[in-house]
Chains A and B, each alone.
Chain A
């Protein structure tokens, strides 16, 4: 596979990709240095990483809807909340309805409920024009939030749900992993040792769980995007009438994308419930929806790696503005500053780079389809051999990849 050859990797990157890689490299270096110097607590760092990954997961879910199929879904916070509440209600000690189940069962129930709600919302609204869909989904998300806040007998209302176990509680080995691991002390800079205690190991488990969720979602979506299914969705996004004229059941495709994205958002919610160990209706505030939108637009609509990048940037803004509050000399409160930065980011991206920082490029194309054209001197297997075998003259099979269909 030529794409993973380190010597040619640099040639295929665009200028922006190189720039983004360099900036990310510096940020990672700065974080590592402050970790080593003991300025940043390792367990807090992992918590932040978990939060960033959670936003990245939400962005991946929205990307499946908006980026692939052009569905304007303003109910991200609602599906996130369904995931969080589903997991919390099934597993928490003081859950008003079920409670005490294994987190795995909570995960399954939460995702199922999210899928059912997605179908219920999708059936009426997915036929709507794009801007109506935006308004309708925002309205329905508010209905869900009001429901969770007011039905105290089922959800504890605005008091929220406490006592959620961590995801691995009750598992053999992993359940007691944070307690059994020794407390380590590492001294890199003399005078400020880094302590890795129970809290650190717990967050480490959380982050591994997140990486599993994120990796799973990323590869499912990448595969889906490159598949014929993804191509149909892109056609629907750019011209739905064309897709219809080609005989595609566009409603079914849009519904599949909507449910897929919503389930991924719920997955982020499940993770959040086990990370934060407390959920309340404030987690369904519409602002969460718009944070995720910023992440997707910034990263590049339709681009999965863009969604990952956007998720991390949003958390940098969210937590960075909170961090600024610690400085007494800084005159502006964190909450409105965060809002201002998010607003400015939306306007600036739409003004100067509406396609996003990392717009989808090769990732839309099945790898073998570009092999032939990008590296003609490299003998390739597969397509060309088949062409040669059928008697087409294997010598100048340079265009083999293009004529594949």
Chain B
């Protein structure tokens, strides 16, 4: 595989990681704990999309080989992930008084509950959306790039969502409050921001983006109850690389980690004997290295972030 082909795959994979890592980073800084249920929130989004797409069907014209009905179904998936996360926050996390480590451990339990319920409803086997898979786009093949129209749809949707989030953060009242809270929750509170409401909105946005990431991950591979949990550590690597609490850092970190994972085959070409099977291991080692050398990540400021 050529470098350009690996890079193209990397962009597609990255866009999914980016969607997931924004939410994880937001929740890490605003809710104050490492949410181990984030990967399974992606799974919730994917399976909700599957159900909604089954109900809606491929109505309307197709954009990039994806029927319009699928985009509507992704919307349902986003909403479902957000609702599930907010309900969990109000019923479980809010009622706890156990500190950030206790919340972290609780979120593992939540992750298992999500996954168990999905597995009970849909079985442990992999499933696919009812969309015929496509051949790579002809006109790009001459450059050695093998990506399908579905991949292109994934990248464009992710770009659209990230742009929307950027507008929200920079140009709306809620966005300014969220940035203020991620920066310094106490200061935000004494400034009269209703922090509880902003916290709920961060859950909505973070889980919603994770749901979208899960939906497109299902289009990229297939759906299985473990799909999100398997990706969780890669997403953590992206968040830590980007800097916890920074949305833009998460975008950058997600992009870099996604590229690194997909470009791992290049290592053996330059003489480093690390095969594709260690792609994720490379990401984890980078994560540990970042934690040691610069725990604030690329975009993080020097002050201690949320958490403990």
Contact = CB atoms under 8 A, between A and B. Distances in A.
A297 B275 CA distance: 38
Given A129-B308, A297-B105, A350-B102, A340 B112 contact: yes
A333 B120 contact: yes
Given A129-B307, A343-B111, A139 B101 contact: no
A28 interface: no
A105 interface: no
Interface residues of A, number: 41
B102 A146 contact: no
Contacts of B148: none
A149 to B, nearest CB: 8
Dominant secondary structure of chain A at its interface with chain B: helix
B113 A347 contact: yes
A125 B295 CA distance: 12
A322 B280 CA distance: 32
Given A143-B285, A150-B275, A138 B233 contact: yes
Interface stretch (B66-74, B91-99, B160-168): B91-99
A134 B117 contact: no
Interface in B29-44: 33-34
Nearest to B114: A343
Interface in A136-157: 136, 138-140, 142-143, 146-147, 149-150
Contact of A343 (B96, B109, B295): B109
Interface stretch (B209-217, B259-267, B286-294): B286-294
Interface in B103-147: 104-106, 108-113, 115-117, 119-120, 124
Contacts, number: 132
Contacts of B225: 336
Contacts of A345: 109
Interface string A324-352: 00000000110111111011111100110
Nearest to B109: A346
A130 B308 contact: yes
30 contacts: A72-B101, A128-B292, A128-B295, A131-B104, A132-B295, A134-B34, A134-B104, A135-B233, A136-B287, A136-B288, A139-B237, A142-B233, A150-B278, A293-B108, A297-B105, A336-B117, A336-B120, A336-B225, A340-B120, A343-B111, A343-B113, A343-B116, A346-B106, A346-B112, A347-B92, A347-B106, A347-B113, A350-B102, A351-B95, A354-B98
Interface of A: 72, 124-125, 127-132, 134-136, 138-140, 142-143, 146-147, 149-150, 290, 293, 297, 332-333, 335-340, 342-347, 350-351, 354
